[in-house]
Amino acid sequence: MEMCKSKDIADLRDNQKLIPLFTLNSLLMPGEKMLMRVFEPRYKQMLDDVVIDDLAYGHVMANPAMTMLNGWSIPFDIGTLVKVEKMEEQGTNIIYDAIGRERFRIISLIEPSLPPEDFGSIFPSVSELEESYLEEDPNGKLYSRALIEILPPLRGEVDIRKWDNLLTLWENYIKQIIDLTGMNEEIKSHIGNMKEIFSNPTEESVWVLASMVIDTQEGQVSCLKAEFVKEIVSIIESNLQMKMKRISEFREGNE
């Protein structure tokens, strides 16, 4: 993954797609929905840019193994395109739904035009910050951008027996969580309905189940880099088994 400046954009190849990046502490799976709250000027500028032209931005996660560059976090080289829906202003905040779409791989990163700065609780306006760089860098932005390539859909199919076994494992995990936490017993009655929803292992249902189960950084990154559906299924299974083991160890420790 290379780094380049905004002044180099004109020299890029025609087949390269340029998108804004939103860096967070977790990834977003295709089809997953996340409620977002934006208050920083850089992301307000980003939303203005993508909403006006009905474009997508890239949801990425900071890679802790990478050294920061000029004060900015370097993301993993994988991410998910996001469609913005139901955007509204609430005071100085912008609230919207982020809907995960296609996966992508980062080819090159483009730094923001201004270095990161701690503004405390009072942020300057987007226009005030733009005045600081537009004359020197007219193509610049307050947010990070990237040249990307869209990854193809997952390949292959899932054996229906393996999928059924995975759903049973998921059902047992949910029941154990309910028993352990004392959650409302009525939730158990909905598990059968949930299994019916996921009865057919399509790519969409696999991604939805992955978003519900996988909460580790390693698992999320591995999912988005996967080529085959069966890889996602294996990652979901491993995560569920790890969660079940933790529950068992917790029960043993409290006996």
Neighbours of 101 (CB within 10 A): 17
Calculate mean pLDDT across residues 5-24: 69
Question: Which of 7-16, 116-125, 171-180, 202-211 comes out lowest in average pLDDT?
Answer: 7-16
> Could you give the CA distance from residue 59 to residue 74 in angstroms, rounded to a whole number?
13
Q: What is the pTM of this model?
A: 0.86
Which residue, among 190, 196, 227, 224, has the nearest Cα to 210 in the 3D structure? Answer: 224
Residue 5 predicted with pLDDT over 80: no
pLDDT in tens, 133-146: 998 889 899 999 99
H or E element: which one contains 231? Answer: helix 229-253
Within its chain, how far is the Cα of 162 from the centroid?
A: 27
State the pLDDT at residue 183: 60
Q: Is 253 exposed, middle or buried (0-12, 13-18, 19+ CB in 10 A)?
A: exposed
Confidence check: pLDDT of 103 > 60 = yes
- Which numeric CATH code is attached to 2-150? 2.30.130.40
pLDDT tens for 166-188 read: 988 988 888 888 877 766 656 55
pLDDT in tens, 47-87: 999 998 889 999 999 998 887 777 788 999 999 999 999 99
Lowest mean pLDDT among 44-48, 107-111, 185-189, 194-198: 185-189
Give the residue extent of every domain in the chain: 2-150, 160-253
- Give the pair of three-digit tokens for residue 110: 């483009």
